[in-house]
Structure 1
Amino acid sequence: MKKRSWEEIMEEISKRFPRYVEPAHDPEWLHAFMERFVRMVERDKNHPCVIIWSLGNESGYGPNHDALSGWVHGYDPTRPVHYEGTIHTRERKISRSVDIISIMYPSLERLIQLAEDPEEDRPIIMCEYAHSMGNSTGNLKEYWEIIRKYKRICGGFIWDWVDQGLKRVTEDGQEWWAYGGDFGDKPNDGNFCINGLVWPDRKPHPAMWECKKIQQPVEAEAVDVSNGIIRILNRYDFTDLSIIDISWELTEDGKVIQQGTLPKLFIPPHESEIVTVPFKVPEPFKPGAEYWLTIRYKLSRDTPWAERGYEIGWTQFKIPLEVPPGPAVKVSSMPPLKLEESDDEIKVSGKNFSLTFDKRDGCLTSLIYEGLNIIKKGPLLNVWRAPTDNDAPRLAPMWRNAGLNRLKHTVREVKSEKISDQLVHVSVSTSLCTPEEIERFKCNYLYKIYGSGDIMVEVDVDPASGLPSSLPRIGLQLTLPGGFENIAWFGRGPHENYWDRKEGAQIGVYSGTVDEQYVPYIKPQENGNKTDVRWVSLTNNLGIGLLAVGMPLMEFSAHHYAIEDFEKAKHTHELKRREDITLNLDYRQSGLGGGSCGPDTLPQYLVKPEHVRFSVRLKPISPSESAMDLSKQTIEHG
């Protein structure tokens, strides 16, 4: 017989009115309140998975709610009573008619204030938080740091579990999910029912991996990682860690070089134990290499909800070692370069490669390597993203009002200089202005082109005054011709991750296709970003392509869609795949937050309009070369 999974349920009557309306205070409504509530309790009182009774949802608060509470406390004293409406009383005191203090979408400061209230001892639950509409669920780590710090905070209910879309199929067979307004319904809530952690078919959003990581029941802390000493914490409430097998891996630049298992641990609930992981970093260290220790926690036996071997969590530590730098390539040993300049173009040619700058656009219009064009246009400063559902209420209008989605690049000056036979400098000065000729940014680029084919792009961004308090992103955008479909990177992955939603993405080396980087949010928006990236390569089926190296780290996304494609489409089937590839190499992109219904992105995860300097190294790559090895190389002058 198939076993049913256990779920703890807070039972809530489906009673919803605009807040602070009269029914909660009107005696004529008492019978209707009571009738519905009693019916629910009688129906579900014998279900052991129902652990809490709730008096309603967003229905104001008044004597009628107190009557429900009084009746159910007498009828069923075994279950606590909850109602979020009691936190909104005029007296600023939370009614004693409920056993749980409940709040929706609190700020971190408000949550701490409730937990530190000296007059309260009741448990605290966020009955709604971390609104997960579209590309969302940022800031989760900070909430759970507070939850774990204060014993009275029980946790919360992420809103929502599932995107509430209905499947539709176009005439040519494309499946898509419909939402409010797609059925001729007026009025409607639009896509405000599309706010789950999983798609309607129950496939998980990338945010689900963040939830799993942040809430995992076993964790490790560093004590002396260089010598393998860590602390294992058991966060289970009732179970010791004998049900968990703990293994470890030591990686060198993403490759496992050692692995093993730890002895069985019997750590009691809410306790910890210091253990030693018996790895040995090989000496001498590989020049430029990164060494990471990953601890994995897997079920040691079958359970009703998962089979033995299922991974319930992991922890990663970077081993702090003084690793020598990667091999240096002397400029004097590189092949010579040829510099040609006309009124419209600057062309630099070297062994097996050539590149062309368009003086009017102030960027590359070609990078030819082994007879193939790798770059069609760019890099150019980009500060815009297709607004997420969380951006829409407050940030996106502010950004659009500043014209950040309509900026035009105006070239002020382009100069070239041959520094030596093996080194050419091209400097470009630009302004980014709105169509109304309001200057928003000055941007200076310095291209250092080496005989090795390396192109060091140094970018200086100077924002003008009068900009919004935050920006969508600061970075470079390039257009690559189709065909460079194979993508690999060293950074966080394999799934999408952002500045404030990256805890659930492991550092490693990943590969796939450009098409696979697209995340099909039901209402298209910004997607597919990767953070803490050391390098990314895009190659064709012959292994020829482009390598981009962060100096030291960057973020990136790559799509067969332009930003405006995501911005204009209301449904996935409206997106038209382009042959070209849009590659974003970002200094930083703002986090996601939860602002569609709740607090905005935390200040530390916002890109501020401040003076910024950053660099990216571009280089053509061949099938005989290793992206990892090339990324470690340094350039030695003199």
Structure 2
Amino acid sequence: MDTRSEDARLPYFEDHSPGSGTLPARAWYAASDAARLSLDGTWQFRLADTAEGTGTGFVADDADLAGWSEVAVPGHWVLQGHGAPAYTNVQYPFPVDPPRVPTENPTGDHRRVFDLPPDWPADGETVLRFEGVESCARVWLNGRELGTFMGSRLPHEFAVGHLLRPAGNVLAVRVHQWSAGSYLEDQDMWWLPGIFREVGLHHRPEHAPVDFFVHAGYDHTTGRGTLRVDSAPQGRVTVPELGLDLETGEEASVPVEPWTAETPRLYDGVLATAGERIPLRIGFRTVGVRDGVFRANGRRVLFRGVNRHEFHPESGRAVDVETMRQDILLMKRHNINAVRTSHYPPHPAFLDLCDELGLWVIDECDLETHGFSFFPEWRGNPVTDERFTPALVDRARRMVERDKNHPSVVIWSLGNESGGGPGLGAMARWIRDRDPSRPLHYENDSTYPDSDFYSRMYASHAEVELIGRREEEPLADPDLDAHRRSLPFLLCEYAHAMGNGPGGLSEYQRLFETYERLQGGFVWEWIDHGLPKRTPDGRTYFAYGGDFGEEVHDGNFVCDGLLFPDRTPSPGLLEYKKVIEPVRITGDAGRGTVTVRNGHDFADLSHLAFEWVFETDGERLGGGRLDVPPLAPGESADIALPPAPATGGGAEGESVWTVRAVLAGDTAWAAAGHVVAWGQIAASGHRRREAPSPAAAVAGRRADGTITLGPAEFDAATGALTRLGGLVPVSAPRLDVWRAPTDNDLGASWHEEARYGMRWRELGLHRVRHRLDGVSLEGGTLTVRTRVAPAATDAGLRTEYRWSATGDELWLNVAVTAEGDWPCPLPRLGLRLGLPAAFGRAAWFGGGPGEAYPDTRAAAALGRWELPVDALQTPYVRPQENGARADVRWAELRTADGSGLRMTAGSAPFWFTARRWTSEQLDAASHTTDLVPGDAVWVNLDHGQQGIGSQSCGPGPLPQYLLAAGAAEFSLSFREVAPESSAG
């Protein structure tokens, strides 16, 4: 078959080429003295089911627009009442037959009528610029067809000066949801067609720059920056602060302060030609790979990064500048220093903000063909099809030309998850030829022919350590193996932040900080892509894949970020901030010192102030400033702590020093006093409390079917607690091993052997039965013996509850022994009890203020905390286990009048969880609106919890965080608290 002749008969939206009629790519800049006219706003709109179903009569001046509606541009029509969004991760949502697409191809006709301003210049040229259209556009102006284009996240321009008229200009744009370009845009995100970035007219005066390239290097050995600006036609470049006045193409070196993500120093300049003056913001820096390490300005860089999709819950990928700024401020405030623009170039204004506020950027091309991985050897993959190569190179060209003048962009990335092939090589060759000043990144080809980095996704801790030691499994070809071993290593995606998690961050960070070759990683990802929907009764929730009737979808896999869709930080982001903090604070209370280590790559500590607080049992007894020298990067110092304040109550309490590093003054991204890092140093440890000896315990009494033990009453037949003073529990304490599986518990399909949530359910841990084996009262001890087990297995937990009491305090000691075959670890091991719904106020002394689990507890600080029960919940888009507080010494639940129940740890602290629904109800919920408060507050007091891991895409919990079924013993006490009592 002659495919060339067949291809020639295909419509433009099924053409392999990037389009026709557009101008060459050029650098983006926010403004100049040349005129611009925004065409954003309300456009007339019509949606058709097929690509050619409505004809092209709408391009005419006198077109019949009966039945048309309106949409906002920038915007996506599926988020404005026309059709519906669809989510897939890997699978294409249409038959895979490149470059063909279905006849059922939603097509949006857009029309805007506009007048030119009276003073619009008549000289030179005017270009019509589209910043982003998904996925293919055909454009007319005043009835004349301008051309077509693909490449959704990239700009395209047309010369239109000869077509413009003073008034009544008709701009008509036909946008197809599916095109040949869709095969190159299989990124993990919602499919959202439309004109989603700005549209405008840009006047190009005579003698204005066609394009320009700012070269601003820095020599760290001399402290001098070298500037050259290439431009056609020629002009002059002035940088007043540096005393520079150069002809374009001329080079000069002067002493400068370099640009880094920690110290984003920019110099204001102007590029002036005979036709246009363009403001410049110049950052001097030099980047590259040397001796197997990526360096900036001569120093190794450690990326504390995130992958960022562009997303807003109301407007999709049409993200306004204020939201972009909000994102970067949140990143900076949480110690994030780098962004990978997954998996396409961001709006260019985002890069301006990265220049200004300071982030390292891996700028990634608009390319992913992941859906071809389902076929043997990626059959049909466009990067192996030479007919797609011009489109691939065009995408690389448009990214580089648009973004080349941003100092924040330090690495170009060819794209994501597109296998390997000559098309990628063509992209790499073009980029290297155009811009040799930046290294290249690509992950998805294991021999790395086109990458300056050894890049992986979701590698385990063990594998990352081997790579750090350059002891990874060798490639079969010695030359290829030697090449890969010479490369610095990046985890371009790791720590999958889906639902509760990610776990294991601290262990990854220790590896990054230990091995020079390991240059950090980028958490997947920044934000949950939940779209708001309402229940029939008007309650709002965030929807995910399948909630819009998609035939093929990937469920809530689109909600895997460190922010909730409304940009509220998740516990995962707070954990990440703590793990990657650029100052390490440790200490030794015995020696009376605190050790401060500067982990910045470039900045000393002069921008920080250090504060100390001393607390006993959560009560602040003193605080003040700590004098820390302005340590250079990598330096550390031991600083003497002041004398510990007097406790006032003897030495009985548990005391801790907390030392915080805070901003000494206001910055562009946070105010003075913002906490950058902190550490805690125990001055005295947790006091073990033992249950009373039989001799000290209050003797029990049996009467009328009731056993009375101190302040408590029990059912004599079952041994269940029925009353504690005036408190009547909804459900007596009993052993609990089930939690509503997290996304990471459920795991990814390719991790079948360790999907613990699935194995727990297969074993039946969500439906265990409690068999009563005996109730006995001997003196001051009530013993209840049970066996807790699921059906259809011999696996069980022999459980013995031993109750005793002294005065107003009720003690419980629990001993557990595993029996039978346990094929998997436990989700949790502890007690569950139910209290009346009025017990809605929580206080505790332990880890907080946020949730924590065994491998996500770095951010939990020891202290005394108070929150409403409702605020203890973490509203993950798909409900799942959440809200545990770690290392709890005591916890209280109280009613509005202050009466309540105190639960105190015995020999070891416990995990504390309180919520208004059971774990089973939490497990059954699909969305937050499925959770309806009941008549009880359900409390878990856990001796152990399974870790979290990141197995929704990455590795599961490390072995030390698995909760094996075995022998365990723990104790707690319970005491009713009166309304006038205070926590303490």
Query: Normalized against structure 2, the TM-score is what?
Result: 0.59
**Gap change, CA 1:73 and 1:486, over 3 Å in 2:** same
Q: Which residue of 2 aligns with 1:634?
A: none
1:110 counterpart SS class: helix
| Among 396, 402, 417, the residue aligned to 2:757 | 396
Q: Distance in 2 between matches of 1:281 and 1:39?
A: 63
Q: Which residue of 2 aligns with 1:636?
A: none
Is contact 2:694–2:781 with CA below 8 Å preserved after alignment?
A: no
Q: Which residue of 2 aligns with 1:340?
A: 702
| Among 8, 14, 21, the residue aligned to 2:366 | 14
Q: Distance in 2 between matches of 1:331 and 1:243?
A: 60
Q: Distance in 1 between matches of 2:709 and 2:973?
A: 18
**Gap change, CA 1:104 and 1:264, over 3 Å in 2:** same
| C-alpha displacement of 1:547 | 1.2
Matches within 5 A, 1:549-588: 549-551=904-906, 552-588=908-944
| C-alpha displacement of 1:616 | 1.5
Matched, 1:291 2:655: yes
Q: Distance in 2 between matches of 1:134 and 1:557?
A: 17
Is contact 1:250–1:279 with CA below 8 Å preserved after alignment?
A: no
Q: Which residue of 1 aligns with 2:713?
A: 355
2:761 counterpart SS class: helix
Is contact 1:288–1:326 with CA below 8 Å preserved after alignment?
A: no
Q: Distance in 2 between matches of 1:211 and 1:180?
A: 27
Q: Which residue of 2 aligns with 1:405?
A: 766
Matched, 1:207 2:572: yes
**Gap change, CA 1:197 and 1:105, over 3 Å in 2:** same
Q: Distance in 2 between matches of 1:500 and 1:609?
A: 19
Is contact 1:359–1:411 with CA below 8 Å preserved after alignment?
A: no
Matched, 1:460 2:819: no
- The C-alpha deviation readout for 1:92-132, integer Å capped at 9, x for no partner, is xx334311111100101111121222753422111100000
Q: Distance in 1 between matches of 2:958 and 2:690?
A: 40
| Among 446, 463, 488, the residue aligned to 1:123 | 488
| Among 40, 43, 47, the residue aligned to 2:406 | 47
1:192 counterpart SS class: helix
| C-alpha displacement of 1:426 | 1.2
Query: What residue ranges of structure 2 are gaps of 5+ in the alignment?
Result: 1-321, 326-352, 472-481, 748-754
Q: Which residue of 1 aligns with 2:534?
A: 169
Matches within 5 A, 1:218-237: 218-222=583-587, 224-237=588-601
Name the stretch that deviates more: 231-240 or 10-19. Answer: 10-19
**Gap change, CA 1:264 and 1:400, over 3 Å in 2:** closer
Is contact 1:355–1:368 with CA below 8 Å preserved after alignment?
A: yes
Structure of greater relative contact order (alpha carbons < 8 Å, 6+ residues apart): 1
Q: Distance in 2 between matches of 1:560 and 1:585?
A: 15
| C-alpha displacement of 1:338 | 5.6
**Gap change, CA 1:446 and 1:416, over 3 Å in 2:** same
Q: Distance in 2 between matches of 1:139 and 1:529?
A: 17
- The C-alpha deviation readout for 1:483-524, integer Å capped at 9, x for no partner, is 112211110001111111111111000012111111111100
Q: Which residue of 2 aligns with 1:489?
A: 844
| C-alpha displacement of 1:544 | 2.0
**Gap change, CA 1:433 and 1:272, over 3 Å in 2:** closer
Aligned residues: 605
1:242 counterpart SS class: coil
Letter in 2 for 1:16: E
Between the aligned residues of both structures, percent identity stands at 35
Q: Distance in 2 between matches of 1:225 and 1:318?
A: 7
| Among 138, 141, 148, the residue aligned to 2:513 | 148
Is contact 1:548–1:617 with CA below 8 Å preserved after alignment?
A: yes
**Gap change, CA 1:536 and 1:617, over 3 Å in 2:** same
Q: Distance in 1 between matches of 2:788 and 2:568?
A: 41
Matches within 5 A, 1:173-184: 173-184=538-549
User: If you compute each CA radius of gyration, which structure gives the higher value, 1 or 2?
Assistant: 2
Is contact 2:857–2:886 with CA below 8 Å preserved after alignment?
A: yes
Query: What residue ranges of structure 1 are gaps of 5+ in the alignment?
Result: 88-93, 629-638
Q: Which residue of 2 aligns with 1:380?
A: 734
Q: Distance in 2 between matches of 1:586 and 1:325?
A: 17
- The C-alpha deviation readout for 1:567-588, integer Å capped at 9, x for no partner, is 1110001111112010000001
Q: Distance in 2 between matches of 1:530 and 1:402?
A: 27
| C-alpha displacement of 1:324 | 8.9
- The C-alpha deviation readout for 1:594-631, integer Å capped at 9, x for no partner, is 00000001111111011111111122222454553xxx
| C-alpha displacement of 1:158 | 0.5
Is contact 1:287–1:326 with CA below 8 Å preserved after alignment?
A: no
Q: Which residue of 2 aligns with 1:269?
A: 633
| C-alpha displacement of 1:225 | 2.3
Q: Which residue of 2 aligns with 1:91?
A: none
Is contact 2:493–2:523 with CA below 8 Å preserved after alignment?
A: yes
Q: Distance in 2 between matches of 1:443 and 1:330?
A: 20
1:405 counterpart SS class: helix
| C-alpha displacement of 1:407 | 0.5
Is contact 1:287–1:327 with CA below 8 Å preserved after alignment?
A: no
Query: Normalized against structure 1, the TM-score is what?
Result: 0.90
Matched, 1:97 2:479: no
Q: Distance in 1 between matches of 2:552 and 2:716?
A: 51
Name the stretch that deviates more: 305-314 or 275-284. Answer: 275-284
Matched, 1:106 2:451: no
Is contact 1:518–1:527 with CA below 8 Å preserved after alignment?
A: yes
Q: Which residue of 1 aligns with 2:154?
A: none
Q: Distance in 2 between matches of 1:84 and 1:188?
A: 25
| C-alpha displacement of 1:288 | 2.8
Matched, 1:66 2:425: yes
- The C-alpha deviation readout for 1:390-409, integer Å capped at 9, x for no partner, is 11131111111111111011
1:304 counterpart SS class: coil
